[in-house]
Homo-oligomer: A and B are copies of this chain.
């Protein structure tokens, strides 16, 4: 079908274009830890396969065919993450690298059966939505915690940073998916945030943490 490298480029372009629409060569190079010249080579190949729209110097976007492949890989990634956490008892900060390998197992039937085995979960352990077998999914309207105001209340529903250190920090602070929080104070000076957890526990987080925590109102 497609090579490992091709799949990784498509997935990367998909994620980057969520923010930007059109994605630049340098963005891809930075995201994949490779060089811009390598990216250019691959873009030509993907354009030949009609998986991306590409004109020299003008950046790229996915074609419908390319997007379909990317979403399929993301579906696999998130289902395997769910499996690793729910069935094999891994922590949410341990599963990313394993899922990064498992997302390239090719069988569609395998992933559909895995989906069924787990009861068609709607979200992965980090709160990201899992596309269904047709690639459909709706991403909830989430806002960074940093955009809330005092007394606003919401449910932790996602993260913008998937790194282990960040996830471990959240775990320690009990700031995990599904928890309800209420903003009690916002410090003008450094934009840090004080908030109340369910058991009335008060905690205080930096602006950066608040920026990377996504809340459903």
* Contacts from A to B (Cβ < 8 Å): 84, 87-90, 97-98, 101-102, 104-107, 110, 113-114, 117
Contact = CB atoms under 8 A, between A and B. Distances in A.
A88 B107 contact: no
Of A90, A110, A114, A117, the most chain B CB neighbours within 10 A belong to A110
B90 A113 contact: yes
A168 to B, nearest CB: 17
B87 A117 contact: yes
Copy count, this protein chain: 2
Contacts of A97: 107
A107 to B, nearest CB: 5
B88 A114 contact: yes
Given A97-B107, A101-B106, A101-B107, 10 more contacts: A87-B117, A88-B110, A88-B114, A88-B117, A98-B105, A98-B107, A98-B110, A101-B104, A101-B105, A102-B105
